[in-house]
Amino acid sequence: MQLRYNYRAYPDAPQRRALASAFGCARVVWNDCLRDRKEAHAAGLPYVTSAELSRLRITQAKRTEERAWLADVSAVVLQQSLRDLDAAYKNFFDSLKGRRQGRKVGPPRYKSKKDTRQSIRLNTNAFSLKDNGKVYVAKVGNLKVKWSRRLPAAPTSLTVTKDSSSRYFLSFVVDTDPDLLPGLESDAGIDLGLSAFAVLSDGRKIDSPRFLRRAEKKLKRLQRELSRKAKGSKNRAKARIKVARQHARVADRRRDWHHKASTQLIRDNQAVYVEDLAVSGLGRTRLAKSVYDAGWSAFVGMLQYKAAFYGRTFAKVDRAFPSSQLCSACGFRNGPKPLQIRKWTCEACGAAHDRDHNAARNVLFEGRRIVAAGRAETLNACGAPVRRVHVPAQRVEAGSPRKDQTTQAGIPGP
């Protein structure tokens, strides 16, 4: 399977200028190729192939006066930008034809130099790992990297990213074998919430850290300072960086907490079952800030790929499953209940239930039934089974390796 490992990079001033040039050239190639395909579609002409675009917008463009500066960056950066555009079109066409799972994907859009995130992608021909711990990037130089861990294998691709707070990251994609954990007898159903981040079927509760709520006071102050700066001034740019860095700290803390909590759950249980919540729908309610502060989607995604990596069982229970209405003792359906009802008594058997604990137990029973039936998920709202999807390389850093892990593959470490 594929995993993605992120590391913080610290380029010096010349390297930052070289990376800025690479970001700009990749963006120009993307926009030029996208414009050609849109104009051909509007004129009723055939779809412009990648080979034709590579010849016109990369090879021949370097020989013109308007695009001569494309030769200042590695050709791999330009070619990978064109491949990324092809992948975006493929996802769009597959989504139109129903070949792609999940939400509908729109057509590719133009990129702007004002985008908060800039990136380039490289294959093994344009980067290498040095013995001194630095990473060589073609026509950029040797980048200083903070190695938080060793790579388990030789990387197959590298993505250099600059985020909104002007931080640089190196993201390596690594092909590695699953690291199977010893088998266990325990399994867990998880009910996600806001008052408590998660309630497990055995009664344990995981408190919600509320990272955004805790940082709101400072964020409000920084946002007020930003709003008072004149647009286009250098002081406004400095204030924007301060706001972006504070948001980045909140996101980093949340991501780190998600990794630790998800890894602990996967290691402690042979099977993990969780309810598939409609996060995008809840994000349009009055609870939107709290919902996005919890980060349920990212947490469930981590559980899914870590279960595949460590050899655990993972299943989603459909959001239409009435986990809060069923009695986990006798199975009697007691009907819907408003959110303010946190405890209730079953009318059939008289069992007293905590709302969240009862829902977690029902998720556990439904998850066991799903696995026993051989499905990855419950039926969707239309009554059709949802197929198991391939787990791609995650954009966030992979989980922490075990202490006795010995696979190092000779990759330089800290």
- Of residues 276, 356, 366, 397, which has the active-site annotation? 356
Residues 6+ apart with CB under 8 A from 7: 145, 146, 147, 148, 169, 170, 171, 172
Task: Count Cα atoms within 13 angstroms, Cβ side, for 32.
Answer: 23
Q: What CA–CA distance (Å, rounded) separates 313 from 301?
A: 14
Angle between helices 211-227 and 234-268 in degrees, nearest 10: 170
Q: What CA–CA distance (Å, rounded) separates 81 from 120?
A: 7
Q: Is the dihedral of CA 172, 178, 183, 185 positive or negative?
A: positive
Separation of CA 285 from chain center:
23
Q: What CA–CA distance (Å, rounded) separates 367 from 317?
A: 6
Is residue 356 flagged as an active site residue?
A: yes
Q: What CA–CA distance (Å, rounded) separates 351 from 170?
A: 54
Q: What CA–CA distance (Å, rounded) separates 240 from 413?
A: 34
- Of residues 187, 275, 276, 397, which has the active-site annotation? 275
| Beta carbons within 10 angstroms of residue 318's beta carbon | 16
Query: Structure tokens of 316?
Result: 């989603």
Write phi, then psi, for 286 (nearest 5 degrees): -70, -10
Q: Are 176 and 305 a contacting pair, CB within 8 Å?
A: no
Is residue 191 flagged as an active site residue?
A: yes
Q: Are 316 and 323 a contacting pair, CB within 8 Å?
A: no
- Of residues 32, 187, 191, 397, which has the active-site annotation? 191
The angle at the Cα of 234, spanning 230 to 238, to the nearest 5 degrees, equals 100
Find the length of the chain: 414
Burial of 131 (0-12, 13-18, 19+ CB in 10 A): exposed
Is residue 39 flagged as an active site residue?
A: no
Q: What CA–CA distance (Å, rounded) separates 383 from 371?
A: 17
Q: What CA–CA distance (Å, rounded) separates 335 from 338?
A: 10
Q: Is the dihedral of CA 33, 36, 40, 41 positive or negative?
A: positive
133: left (phi over 0), alpha (psi -120 to 50) or beta: left
Catalytic residues: 191, 275, 356
